[in-house]
Chain A
C-alpha cells in the first residue's frame, strides 16, 4: 500500500490550544490572596450587654433594675462572688447560702406575694419575672430566689439552696412545704441558683422550661480550661440523632449556669458527626446537633445572640478509631468560648 493511499486526516492543529494549561502558572493559593471577608452577624458581638453578672439588656426594660448592685461584685479568695460588704452573692447579686434570706424581702418589689391559687403558694410555670433575678416555675421577688417553692416575704418561706435542696429562710433544711427536716444538714457552698427560662425583652412573664438547678463550681477561675475540664464542654449523640438525652441536658444546664457566671464569653457550638455518614449529610447533621444545643441553652436563659453554631461534619474526630466507642465520642457538640480575658478563638 502506498503512502498516498493512506487516509491521513489532518485535523485540529492545536497551536495555541488550551494546552496553555501546561504553561507554568503562579500558584496563588486560596490562603494568601484574598482579604478576610465580612461575615456579618457573627463575631464577638454575641456578648450580652449590661453589667457583668446580669442578664443585661437582653432582659428588656425591667431587666436592669438590679444592675447597679450587680456591677459591684468581686470574688473572694475562694473564688466566690461577694458583694461590696463581703457577703456571698449569686451572679445576680442575691445573697446566698447562710445569708438571712428573709431580710431580702423588702428589697425591691415590696416583698408581698399573692400567688395564683392559694395565698403564698406558687404554681409551676405561673410565676412572674422581675428585674435582675431568675426564677423557674416560681415567682421572683427582687433580691430573692425561689424555685417552684413557696415564698413568704420576710421569712418563713421555702427556698432552694445551692444544692437544690429546700431550705428555710435561715438555711435550715425543710421539705417542700416548709416543715423542718430533722437530722438533715445544710451545706454551705459557693453556689447560686441557676435560672430557668426567662422571657427576653419584656421583663415580665416567662415560660416554663427545664427545671432549674444549682451547681457548685468549686475553684472556678472563669477560664476556658475550667469550663472544658470541670464544667463539661460537650454532649454526645446517638447515631444519626440530634436528641439531647438526660445526661446531655444535665451537662447543658451546668454550661448555662457557668455561662451566666461568666457573661464575658460568647459561645460557639461546634457540631460533629462520626465517620459513618456521607460528607454533605454529616455537615447538615452537625449543624442540626449544634442547633439543638443552642436551642437548649437558650431555653435555659442564655441569650441566643450569644451563641453561634458551626458544623464540622465528620472532619474533626477526637478519636480516630473506627470502633463504636470511637464513633460515640465523635458524635458530639462542643461549646467553645470566645471573648473574655485571654480566651482565644
Chain B
C-alpha cells in the first residue's frame, strides 16, 4: 500500500531511524520516530506550513513562526525542510486535517506541521500547532501556548521542542539561551561584553558595558544565573550574575586571581581555579554558605573543572604530567586519574548532561579541534578542526555541542558554531558581531 511504498523510498534510512522493531516498522500504526543513538542518517523531510492568524489566513508573523520552527528542526541535521508551497493549499484550515493523499502526491514530507496564532482581547497571543504523520495520517502532537506576542519566538521554539521530542523521544533544546562574549575592536584592543541570546543568535541582550574585560561565562544548569570572570577589580575574579535581575556579586575574596568557574549540576556550588604563586588549583565554593575548599594541590596548573551530571566526579585539565591533559577526580578531590592519552594536548573538558561523553579541545599539529570521548578516555572522536576551536558547551539534551572558532591573522575574529555530537551538521550561529566563549543555558520551562 501507499504507506509501505513511501516508507520504502526512505528505505534503510527511515528503517534505521524508526524506533519500532523490524517487522513492526512497516505497519501503518507505527509512530513516526527517530532514534538518536544511530549514526547520522538521511534527514527526515518535514514541512512547517505558515501559521494562520486571527482572520484565518497566514500572516507575516505566521510565516516567521514557521521559519523559526523549520530552522530549529533543520539545524539539528536530523530533519530537512522541504518546500511547502504546493502543500499549503492542501491544508486550508487549522481546524481540519490536511488532505494527506494529495500531500503525498506533491511532497515527500513525512511530517507536517500546521498552526495558528490568536490574539485575545487582552492582547495576548496564543500559538497553537499540530504535528502530523503524513504517512499514517495521525496527529502526533498538538499544543498551544499563550504569552505576550513579543515572546513569539520563544513560543515557536517551544513548539519546535515539542516536535523534536515527539519525533525523537528526547527533550529538545530550542527554547534555551546562551551566554557568550561579544567582541568588538581590533585584536590588540578588544572590547568584550557579556551578552545573552536565544540559542539561535536572536534576541541578544548585553549584560555588561565593555569597560571591563570579561571572559568565560557559564550558565547554571538550573536557573538563569551565570558565573563569569571580570577584570573590574584589576585582576580576573569570578562573579555571579542573575540574567533576569542583572544583580551580581563577587564570589569569594581570594588572595589571587580566580577564573574558569563552572556550576555544579544542582546549581548549589561553583568550582573555579585560583592562581597563587604561579600554581593554579581548583577550589569548590558552596554558594549558600560560601565555604571554600581546595580540590587539588601541587605546583602544576589545574583548571577548567566540570562536574559529571550526577555531581560525583569532576573532569579537569592539568599539566602535572608535563603538558595539558584531562583528568577525572572524585568531587571531593580524591583519586585523580588521567583519561586522555592521545597525541597532543587536551583542554577545556566539559561533561555531557547525559553523562556519556566528555567534550574537549585538542591541540595537535598546530590545529585546534573539538572532540568527545567516553568518561574513561576511550572512544575518542574528533568533530572539528581549525586554526582555533575552543570552549565546547553542551545542549541541555547532550545531543549537540556549541563552541567558538577564531580565524587567524590580525583581522581574525571569533564566531560561534554548533555541531552534532555524532559529527556533522555544523552550523554557524548568527550573532550580531564577533562572539566567543558560548555557554549553553538550561531549558527555560
* Chain A residues with a Cβ under 8 A of chain B: 1, 3, 6-15, 17-19, 21-23, 25-34, 36-42, 240, 242, 275-281, 283-285, 287-288, 290-292, 295, 308-313, 315-322
Contact = CB atoms under 8 A, between A and B. Distances in A.
Contacts of B260: 280, 283
Contacts of A31: 208-212, 232
A12 B206 contact: no
A241 B61 CA distance: 56
Given A3-B95, A13-B144, A285-B301, A30 B444 contact: no
B184 interface: no
Contacts of A240: 323
A322 to B, nearest CB: 4
Contacts of A317: 187-188
Interface in B110-145: 124, 126, 130, 137, 139, 141-145
Contact of B236 (A1, A292, A311): A311
Interface residues of B, number: 91
Nearest to B138: A7
B147 A280 contact: no
Given A1-B137, A3-B96, A279-B437, 14 more contacts: A11-B143, A12-B143, A15-B124, A23-B148, A30-B209, A30-B214, A30-B239, A278-B304, A278-B348, A280-B216, A288-B275, A311-B236, A313-B215, A320-B186
6 contacts: A8-B142, A37-B250, A281-B304, A283-B257, A284-B275, A311-B236
A41 B256 CA distance: 9
A320 B410 contact: yes
B321 interface: no
Interface of B: 95-97, 124, 126, 130, 137, 139, 141-148, 150-151, 154-155, 158, 177, 186-188, 190, 192, 194, 203, 205-216, 230, 232-236, 239, 241, 244, 246, 248-250, 253, 255-257, 259-260, 273, 275, 277-280, 301, 303-304, 317, 319, 323-324, 347-348, 361, 363, 368, 387-388, 390-391, 406, 408-412, 437, 444-445
Given A19-B155, A21-B151, A291-B278, A322 B209 contact: no
Contact of B145 (A8, A13, A39, A276): A13
Contacts of A310: 234-236, 257
A308 B275 CA distance: 12
A283 B145 contact: no
Given A22-B150, A31-B209, A41-B255, A6 B304 contact: no
A274 B210 CA distance: 22
B322 to A, nearest CB: 10
A313 B137 CA distance: 58
A284 B215 contact: no
Contacts of A285: 301
A30 B216 contact: no
Nearest to B278: A291
B96 A22 contact: no
Nearest to A330: B188
B377 to A, nearest CB: 19
Contacts of A36: 233
A332 to B, nearest CB: 13
Contacts of A42: 234-235
A280 B348 contact: yes
Contacts of A284: 259, 273, 275, 280, 301, 303
Contact of A287 (B207, B246, B256, B387): B256
B275 A311 contact: yes
Contacts of A3: 95-96
A21 B242 CA distance: 12
Nearest to B196: A21
Contact of B151 (A7, A19, A29): A19
Contacts of A6: 97, 130, 139, 142
B115 to A, nearest CB: 12
Nearest to B150: A22
A287 B280 contact: yes
A84 to B, nearest CB: 40
Contacts of B279: 288
Contacts of A17: 145-147, 151, 445
A322 B408 CA distance: 6
Nearest to A316: B188
Contacts of B280: 284, 287-288
B230 A30 contact: yes
A316 B260 CA distance: 18
Contact of A292 (B235, B278, B412): B278
Contact of B304 (A19, A22, A280): A280
A21 B104 CA distance: 40
Contacts of B409: 320-322
B139 A7 contact: yes
A21 B275 contact: no
B203 to A, nearest CB: 8
A318 B188 contact: yes
B235 A295 contact: no
A274 to B, nearest CB: 11
Contacts of A25: 205, 244, 246
A295 B278 CA distance: 9
A7 B273 CA distance: 53
A152 to B, nearest CB: 43
Given A19-B154, A315-B215, A281 B142 contact: no
Nearest to A318: B188
